[in-house]
A and B are shown apart, each in its own frame.
Chain A
Amino acid sequence: MQSYQASSTGPSRLTRNVGVKELFLGFLKIGLMGFGGVGPVSRHVIVEDRRWLSEQEYASVLGIGQILPGANTVNAAVMIGDRFRGIRGALASAAGLMAIPILILVILASAYAHFAASPHIQAAIAGSAAASAGLVIGTAIKMARRLKPTRVALMFGLLAFACVGLLQFPLVPVVVTLAVLSIGLAFSRRLA
């Protein structure tokens, strides 16, 4: 925490000098290499490969990204870019992260639209769609196991799953209600 607070007071306090172009190219690499999610590769590039942040600083940025809404990695890119180069750095980092994946995605989608009528392609897509769903389910189970949740945490997780996954309630009121309840409960416990 200490090292993070020392460097969180603004871009001017950072000793390491990282340019806008460098940020763009670094995040371009993260986007390109991030098959199946960019989490692991983004730590590798930012901490080990480019040495922009220490392990601790990176963990703090990611932690803040996780309590905010939106894609965690995009949030982290915005915060890291801003630290080094202000708004231009934030824009360059986010654009770098998204550029190549979007291009690849459009190429895949065009190919899919072109070959969608072929039963072989339909079978392939059916298989990858089924596997994709499994990847998300597996990720959720893995995250839950790593968290080692308390009974209250487990209850909130299952409530979120039941309301949104089984009952198909709209997400916004569910998230707001559960978040307020969960944080309110934690505060009342803290004060008690």
Chain B
Amino acid sequence: MNHNLLWRVAVTFASLSVVAVGGANAVIPDIHRQVVNVLGWMDDATFANLFALSQAAPGPNVLIVSIIGWHVSGWAGLAVATLAMIVPSGILAFAAGRLLTRLADASLIAMIKACLVPIAIGLVLAGGFVTARAADHSLLTVVITAGAAIFVVLTEKNPIWALGAGTIISMLAFWIGVPHLHP
């Protein structure tokens, strides 16, 4: 087992953990930048595929980190990546749950939230954008991305339907031989 690699996994995700305001989706651009561009653990297509798998499973969005750890170094990588991502922020939440709620007044929390939420939304949009650039290599996939986005904006239905529809449309297109599906 490569301890240097596991250490690198731990450092990468622990440092993201404490700045991930807005949850895991907000740090996707940086996860992509680090694991694809800086560390070279995978290519663009693999990143997009792992992200898709993490979305297909139920549970918190933070699972993208677990699956990257698994891809890089099996079960040990999964455990290290997941713990690195949730323990530092979890300790903060633990402390905040005990202290902040008693000490800080509600209007202060509301003010800080009003300052941070727009930044978090901008980061989530950036995450979607970076993932789309990694995933979309043809007109069909661009249409699927746009369709899924519109589905989420316009309906209150479970997003899993859009995920399923995108999967089926892409398979059907392959079966009937729609050109330019793959570059």
Do A and B share a complex? yes
- The reply on B146 being an interface residue by CB < 8 A is yes
Q: Which residues of B contact A129 (CB under 8 A)?
A: 48-49, 51-52, 131, 134-135, 141
**If the complex has contacts A63-B113, A160-B126, are A139 and B15 also in contact, measured as CB distance less than 8 A?**
no
A125 to B168: give the CA distance in the assembly, Å. Answer: 10
Whether the pair B125, A140 counts as a contact (CB closer than 8 A) is: yes
Shortest Cβ gap from B38 to chain A (Å): 9
Whether the pair A138, B165 counts as a contact (CB closer than 8 A) is: no
- The reply on B28 being an interface residue by CB < 8 A is yes
Chain B interface residue count, CB cutoff 8 Å, equals 112
B-contacting residues, A24-72, CB 8 Å:
31-38, 60-61, 63-72
- The reply on B53 being an interface residue by CB < 8 A is yes
Whether the pair B97, A159 counts as a contact (CB closer than 8 A) is: no
- The reply on A142 being an interface residue by CB < 8 A is yes
**If the complex has contacts A105-B67, A128-B166, A182-B116, are A72 and B128 also in contact, measured as CB distance less than 8 A?**
no
A80 to B142: give the CA distance in the assembly, Å. Answer: 41
Whether the pair A133, B163 counts as a contact (CB closer than 8 A) is: no
Question: A120's contact among B70, B78, B171, by CB below 8 Å, is which?
Answer: B171
| A contact face: mostly helix, strand, loop, or mixed | helix
Shortest Cβ gap from B12 to chain A (Å): 11
Shortest Cβ gap from B178 to chain A (Å): 10
A98 to B57: give the CA distance in the assembly, Å. Answer: 11
Q: Which residues of B contact A64 (CB under 8 A)?
A: 93, 96-97, 100-101, 109
CB-defined A-B contacts under 8 Å, sample of 13: A31-B58, A68-B21, A69-B17, A70-B23, A104-B57, A119-B174, A120-B175, A126-B137, A129-B135, A157-B119, A157-B122, A160-B118, A182-B118
Given contacts A68-B96, A71-B85, A138-B159, 4 further A-B contacts (CB under 8 A): A60-B101, A69-B18, A71-B89, A138-B151
* A interface residues, Cβ below 8 angstroms from B: 1, 4-5, 8-10, 31-38, 60-61, 63-76, 78-79, 82-83, 87, 90, 94, 97-98, 100-102, 104-106, 108-109, 112, 119-120, 122-145, 147, 149, 153-154, 156-161, 164-166, 168, 170-172, 175-176, 178-179, 182-183, 185-186, 190
* B interface residues, Cβ below 8 angstroms from A: 15-25, 27-30, 33, 37, 48-63, 66-67, 70-71, 78, 82, 85-86, 88-90, 92-94, 96-98, 100-102, 106, 109-132, 134-137, 140-142, 144-153, 158-160, 162-163, 165-171, 173-175, 181-182
List of 6 A-B pairs having minimum Cβ-Cβ separation, nearest first: A70-B89, A127-B170, A101-B59, A131-B166, A138-B152, A134-B148
